[in-house]
Each structure stands twice: as C-alpha cells, then as structure tokens.
C-alpha cells in the first residue's frame, strides 16, 4: 500500500483509482446528495452552519479544536466539512525540556476533509481530497477511533483514541498508530476495557471495508461543498464553553488524566 500522510495524502504514483464495485453511479461530480440536510429537530444544526469540533481533555478542558461547516445533521449521521486553509487550535510545545503540551496555538489546516460521525459509535470516518494538477481529487478514507461525540451549543465534543485505519480509494487498508495504541494500554492510559471496546469497533469497520458496505459504498467521494461557503472560523466560546464529558470516561481511562 502507498504511504499515507495526513498533510499530503497517498503517493498517487502507485495508487489505482478504481472505486468500489457496486457503488451508486447516480452521484456525479459537482452534485450534492439529495438526502442531505437536518431533520428539523431543535437540537440539530442547520446545513452550512459553522460549529466547533473539540477534543476534550480528561480533566474536562477544551483541547485541539476545529471549525467545521455542517453538511448533514440527522438522527443517524453528522457530516462536517473543513477546507484547506481554515485556522484551527492545536497544542504547542514548551521550548525547554522535557517537551510537553504548553498551550493551544492557531495553526492552518492543510487538507480538505469531510468527517462522518455516527451517534453512539466509537469512530468517525474522514474523507480526504487533494489538489492534483489543479483538479480536486479524492485521495483517502481515514477511520479515526474516538469517544462517541456529544452535542454542545456550539458544536460537538469528543476525544481521540490513537488507533486509526487508513483506507485507499480502492479499499485496501492498513492500521495506523497500532503500536502507540498498545503502548497506551500497557501504560494504563487506556484501560483493558476500552482496548476491548476499540478492537471490537475496529473489527466491524474492517468488515464494512472488506465487504464494500456503507459508508464506503455510498458515493461520498463524489460529494462537493457548496461553492458559496466561506472558510469557517472557530465560533465564539469554543475555548470557554463548558465541555460535555464522556459518561464512560472513568471506565475507559481509570485514574488517567490529561
């Protein structure tokens, strides 16, 4: 499999662009899904609205945070889009040893991503696009294992669980950061119960990949953002709005903090 980098994507020189057999053909480049939109519920965001996606530290503080535009917000799926060039908040590093997180700093996001999130699930699926010779081209799926998201007045809260799966457009896949995940389990940062939960979740995702099931067969790779959307910015209060912590955090992390 070609090597994947979050900033640059795959080495396209060795990647076959054939899409999953059986994927719907009715979605052509430039069109949007007919089914996208919210269900009208008062707790849901409007399509095109800007929200904050925040990683919440285990002591209940906002950490890395991104501005996204809402593509879909229904009972079954939340789809969020961030373009290249958006400013997000990420951890800086102290200048003196030992190197550690210092504070959140503004950084420029360099890849276009559509993030698919499912209520109550321990993963999200990201779709990456890159500019290839002036053309927008789908380059990868990325399965990010994480806390189930929680709604807030300004967006969604979650936190990362280290393990990932990188998936090419032809649905070949590989683990990413598996040794780091296992080391965190060994160190007690993640409990054995959380590790079992993530591995079980991972098996279901791998089965969906290998069977070419949703969302890998849904045509999301043909989706296009609304051309009138401006680059989103983090909404006011992203760093101060009360965090919605995961109800299973003690079971998942034990006494770990940070």
**Nearest to 89, CA basis, from 70, 109, 74:** 109
Alpha helices in 121-165 (DSSP H): none
State whether the Cα torsion 13-167-90-108 is positive or negative.
Answer: positive
Residue among 61, 176, 222, 251 flagged as catalytic: 176
Inter-residue contact 5 to 111 (CB < 8 Å): no
**Nearest to 205, CA basis, from 37, 183, 13, 197:** 197
Q: Among this protein's residues, is 251 annotated catalytic?
A: no
Q: How many CA atoms lie within 13 A of 213 on its CB side?
A: 8
What number of other Cβ atoms are within 10 A of residue 161's Cβ? 22
Radius of gyration of the chain (CA): 18
> Which positions are catalytic?
176
């Amino acid at each position: 499999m070609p090597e994947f980098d979050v900033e640059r994507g795959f080495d396209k020189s060795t990647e076959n662009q054939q899409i999953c057999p059986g994927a719907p053909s009715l979605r052509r480049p430039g069109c949007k899904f007919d089914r996208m939109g919210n269900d009208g519920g008062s707790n849901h965001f409007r399509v095109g609205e800007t929200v904050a996606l925040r990683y919440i530290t285990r002591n209940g503080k906002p950490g890395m945070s991104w501005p996204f535009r809402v593509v879909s917000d229904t009972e079954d799926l939340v789809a969020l889009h961030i373009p290249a060039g958006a400013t997000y908040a990420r951890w800086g590093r102290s200048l003196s040893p030992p190197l550690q997180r210092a504070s959140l700093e503004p950084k420029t996001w360099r890849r276009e991503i559509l993030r698919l999130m499912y209520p109550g699930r321990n993963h999200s699926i990201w779709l990456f696009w890159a500019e290839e010779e002036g053309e927008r081209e789908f380059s990868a799926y990325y399965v990010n294992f994480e806390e189930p998201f929680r709604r807030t007045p300004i967006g969604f809260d979650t936190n990362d669980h280290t393990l990932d799966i990188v998936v090419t457009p032809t649905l070949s896949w590989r683990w990413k950061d598996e040794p780091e995940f296992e080391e965190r389990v060994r160190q007690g940062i993640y409990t054995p119960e959380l590790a079992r939960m993530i591995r079980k979740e991972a098996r279901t995702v791998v089965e969906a990949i290998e069977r070419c099931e949703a969302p890998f067969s849904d045509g999301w790779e043909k989706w296009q953002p609304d051309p009138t959307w401006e680059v989103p910015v983090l909404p006011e209060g992203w760093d101060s709005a009360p965090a919605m912590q995961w109800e299973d955090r003690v079971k998942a992390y034990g006494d770990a903090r940070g």
